[in-house]
């Protein structure tokens, strides 16, 4: 006997439901694999978080998203990145650790699906007040590593005024699990980088203090080099590299006798030969430090000239690394502008004229043009700011994390 038509229809619908569930599960697995692959490509938070949120937005179609990091020592949570309306106002917002839905998510390590946040007593209306947005449907999931919540992610107001569903929460939670390890590694990398850069700052300061004529020189040329690199459109990673290389450029002067290094007048030919050893000395000092392999090359080549008349290898043109070509120009700029025992520093107009005259000789013409495009006032601001600061923060954050629209 054939099954009743009603039973057949129920069986068909159940098969379709199971098929849809399998397709959805496969799509979710593929998405998580895709996100995981993307997250493994960088440990820089500035690159990592926007990449993560682009993937999340494609999956959840949220009006806005935010990522919060927890400071358990000071019991604060801070929005590290945000997208959507008013993102610029939310990013950087700091709250007590136990405040709001995001605070509940972190302290209780609990994933939450809120149908209407306006009806939830835990909802902090501070974000709504600074963005002008009204939060209704909300997903909030913790980022947990080793039993500790390092932060949380939120997705706010699904597109077309639809409510988030339990399946959205499950997907968001799975994404958070994938992201938590990478974010933890990125945070550890950032802390290590900050500590490492502080060491470079201290070393460069010590070198400048040993050379009585050039105190503050390394800090200034590092900042100048980064600004010139920005002018020709170098990416953030290259700007970080430029600053490290600039801070280390004169490390070879450790091997130059004080009598020559601090001589109050022009050097004799023999003394100049000794001084010209410092690029090779610096290069040799940095050998074996794998993390500074590119910087080592700049230490070696920062005294080369575009026309081939520099030292120590008489390289010319594009055989000289770009970073060294950038640095050579701003190094000369700082030298002209700085006081020496045998002369006073000269004004910007004189320095700009000398640099323009050396286009195609000491300096690459393209870089001279870029230097002259930067307003005099910008160079003055950099110089003035470094004159009143012991260190600069540009190493740890060469450019602010861009506020997403």
CB burial of residue 271 (10 Å; 0-12, 13-18, 19+): middle
Residues 6+ apart with CB under 8 A from 366: 232
What is the longest distance spanned by two Cα atoms in the chain? 113
How does 309-337 read in b/e, with b if 16+ C-beta sit within 10 Å? ebbeeebeeeebbbbbbbbbbbbbbbbbb
In what helix (H) or strand (E) does residue 142 lie, and over which residues does it extend? Answer: strand 138-145
* Other beta carbons within 10 Å of 260: 15
Distance between CA atoms of residues 145 and 155, nearest Å: 21
Residues 6+ apart with CB under 8 A from 83: 53, 57, 64, 65, 66, 404, 405
Phi, psi of 66 (to 5 degrees): -150, 150
Q: Which residues are known to be catalytic?
A: 253
CB burial of residue 400 (10 Å; 0-12, 13-18, 19+): exposed
* Other beta carbons within 10 Å of 15: 10
* Other beta carbons within 10 Å of 196: 14
Number of H helices, E strands in the chain: 16, 6
* Other beta carbons within 10 Å of 249: 31
Q: Is the alpha carbon torsion for 95, 100, 106, 108 positive or negative?
A: positive
């Amino acid at each position: 006997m054939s099954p009743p038509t009603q039973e057949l229809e129920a069986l068909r619908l159940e098969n379709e439901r199971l098929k849809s569930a399998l397709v959805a599960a496969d799509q979710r697995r593929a998405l998580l694999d895709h996100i995981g692959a993307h997250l493994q490509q960088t440990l820089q938070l500035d690159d990592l978080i926007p990449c993560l949120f682009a993937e999340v937005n494609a999956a959840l179609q949220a009006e806005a998203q935010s990522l919060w990091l927890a400071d358990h020592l000071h019991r604060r949570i801070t929005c590290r990145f945000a997208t959507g309306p008013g993102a610029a106002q939310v990013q950087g917002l700091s709250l007590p650790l136990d405040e709001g839905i995001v605070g509940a998510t972190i302290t209780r390590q609990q994933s939450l699906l809120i149908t209407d946040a306006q009806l939830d007593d835990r909802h902090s209306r501070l974000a709504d007040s600074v963005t002008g947005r009204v939060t209704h449907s909300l997903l909030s999931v913790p980022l947990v590593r080793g039993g500790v919540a390092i932060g949380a992610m939120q997705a706010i107001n699904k597109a077309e005024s639809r409510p988030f569903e339990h399946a959205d929460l499950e997907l968001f939670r799975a994404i958070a699990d994938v992201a938590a390890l990478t974010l933890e590694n990125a945070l550890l990398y950032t802390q290590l980088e900050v500590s490492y850069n502080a060491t470079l700052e201290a070393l460069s300061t010590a070198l400048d203090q040993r050379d009585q004529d050039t105190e503050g020189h390394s800090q200034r040329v590092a900042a100048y080099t980064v600004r010139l690199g920005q002018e020709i459109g170098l990416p953030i990673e290259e700007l970080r590299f430029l600053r490290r290389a600039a801070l280390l450029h004169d490390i070879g002067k450790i091997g130059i006798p004080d009598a020559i290094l601090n001589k109050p007048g022009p050097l004799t030919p023999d003394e100049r030969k000794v001084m010209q050893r410092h690029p090779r000395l610096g290069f040799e000092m940095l050998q074996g430090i794998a993390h500074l392999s590119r910087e080592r090359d700049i230490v070696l080549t920062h005294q080369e000239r575009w026309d081939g008349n520099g030292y120590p290898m008489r390289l010319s043109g594009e055989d000289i690394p770009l970073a060294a070509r950038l640095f050579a120009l701003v190094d000369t700029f700082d030298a002209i502008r700085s006081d020496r025992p045998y002369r006073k520093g000269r004004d910007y107009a004189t320095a700009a004229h000398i640099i323009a005259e050396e286009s195609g000789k000491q300096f690459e013409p393209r870089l001279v043009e870029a230097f002259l495009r930067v307003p005099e006032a910008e160079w003055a601001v950099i110089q003035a700011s470094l004159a009143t600061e012991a260190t600069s923060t540009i190493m740890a954050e060469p450019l602010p994390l861009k506020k997403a629209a």
